[in-house]
Amino acid sequence: MSSMSPRNISNAPATPRILSKSRAARIAVALITAAAFFGAVQLRAQDRQDAENTPDKRLRSATESFREVMHEPDKGIPRDLFDKSRCIAIIPGVKKAAFIVGGKYGRGFVSCRRGGTGRFGSPAAIRIEGGSYGLQIGGSSTDVFLLVMNEGGMHKLLEDKFTIGGEGEAAAGPVGRDASANTDVLLHAEILSWSRSRGLFAGLSLEGSTLRPDNGEDEKLYGEKVTNQQILQGDYKTPAGARPLVAELNRYRNAGGHEHEDVGASLTTHGRVTLSNVHFETGKAELTSDSEGALTQAADALKAHPDWKIRVEGYTDNRGSKDGNLKLSSDRADAVMNWLGDHGVDKSRLTAKGYGDAHPVASNASESGRAKNRRVVLVRDNS
């Protein structure tokens, strides 16, 4: 048997090494597993970072995000849709980490309108989680906004876990002041969603993402174990850290199809204006957080007319004693006067007086009439 010479060996053609299908599959699985691990590590790191933040920091971020969006009516959430919504969820800084396999994660807050008034109430904490697949590398941080448009969407929001589904359930929201809200998708969608990243604002599809209550955040915020359903459907007092967010939401609300009073115009034309969007804790003179929007508008109007002297008048319904009503109305008038003074209105221009149940503007025989009689009025003092 002849042997091959070194020359013959060096000149022999190389035989390509071909991976078996099973080995190629194992390598592919290993790569995908490594990518999934990489994405999970990034999201867990973000989870640890979020845990170090306080609810107050996230509330401030949510307030700033909403304010910036609503200050650009031509590029933001259409006002007619906002006015029709039942609840709004704001999730600032949703993280998306991806290397072949991606994931979404964020923490934020949801606030719902209180029955009959159209006012937004105390916020509850929520989390958003979801996965995405495809050839994608990198990470991003995006503010997410959700409008819950009807009862169906609100019921889902109150569930322990809700996975967003198809168009009949959720849809990417339109953008801008003149965006049409009459398409079939918008008319029937339970939830509309938007995203904002690097100054760009657009409708967003969140199909497959999961929303769930953030119970640990609620406990930190309210100082006790409480469910999102109790917060959103109950009458929980708004924590101090959440008051700016609730006030900002109520600055833009349209309750019953009526905008906030134009304080400056009413005082100019009629010499008086009723602050119907200013409210107090029941039986007390403590202003509720959702009053700050109307009070801010009043303060801005008074600062724009520094020559005006204003009398703040307080009134009650006829429930309770005459003396008790007189004191309560005086205390409430003082509370409004002091709020205005603490927010830039020269206190030397302001006086306050309570009138108890005198001068009713509606019948005290019904609850709706009594509600109208419980009021605070600003009056231009021309003396």
Least confident of 95-99, 196-200, 252-256, 360-364: 95-99
The residue among 173 and 380 whose pLDDT is bigger is 380
Q: Given a cut of 60, is residue 29 above it in pLDDT?
A: no
Residue owning tokens 């005459």: 322
**In this model, does residue 24 exceed pLDDT 80?**
no
Place of tokens 């204006």: 273
- Distance of alpha carbon 47 from alpha carbon 95, whole angstroms: 10
Segment holding 297, helix H or strand E: helix 292-304
Across the range 262-266, mean pLDDT stands at 81
What three-state secondary structure class fits 208?
coil
Element (H, E) at 137: strand 124-148
Question: How much is the pTM?
Answer: 0.56
The residue to which tokens 């303060």 are assigned: 299
Percent of the chain at pLDDT above 70?
A: 72
R_g of the chain computed on alpha carbons: 29
CA distances from 229 to 36, 110, 187, 214, 237 (A): 34, 11, 26, 12, 14
77-86, 125-134, 182-191, 336-345 — which one is most confidently predicted on average?
A: 336-345
Give the integer Cα–Cα distance in Å for 325 and 316.
Answer: 6
- Residue closest to 60 by CA, chosen among 243, 197, 194: 243
- Burial of residue 104 (CB within 10 Å: 0-12, 13-18, 19+) is buried
Whether 248 shows a pLDDT value over 50: the answer reads yes
Query: Which are the contacts of 68, defined by CB distance < 8 A and separation ≥ 6?
Result: 196
Task: Determine the 3-state secondary structure of 203 from DSSP.
Answer: strand
Whether 53 shows a pLDDT value over 50: the answer reads yes
Q: In what order do the strands lie in the sheet with 272-274?
A: 272-274, 375-380, 310-315, 350-354
Round to whole Å and give the CA distance between 153 and 382. 51
pLDDT in tens, 200-211: 778 777 777 888
pLDDT of residue 96: 60
Question: CB-based contacts of 281: which residues, under 8 Å, 6+ apart?
Answer: 237, 288
pLDDT of residue 1: 45
Predicted local distance difference test score (pLDDT) of residue 115: 62
Per-residue H/E/C for 267-283: HHHCCEEECCCCCECCC
pLDDT at 259: 43
Please check whether residue 290 is in contact with residue 330, taking contact to mean a CB–CB distance below 8 angstroms.
no
Listed in sequence order, the residues at least 6 apart from 86 whose beta carbon sits closer than 8 Å to its beta carbon are: 112, 113, 148, 149, 150, 151, 153, 154
Helix axes 292-304, 322-342, angle to 10 degrees: 60
Q: Tell me the range of 19-23, 79-83, 105-109, 333-337 where mean pLDDT is highest.
A: 333-337
Domains of the chain in start order, with CATH, are 30-233 (no CATH), 260-380 (3.30.1330.60)
Comparing C-alpha atoms, which of 378, 379, 372 is closest to residue 279?
372
Please choose, from the candidates 297, 296, 331, the residue with its C-alpha nearest in 3D space to the C-alpha of residue 312: 331
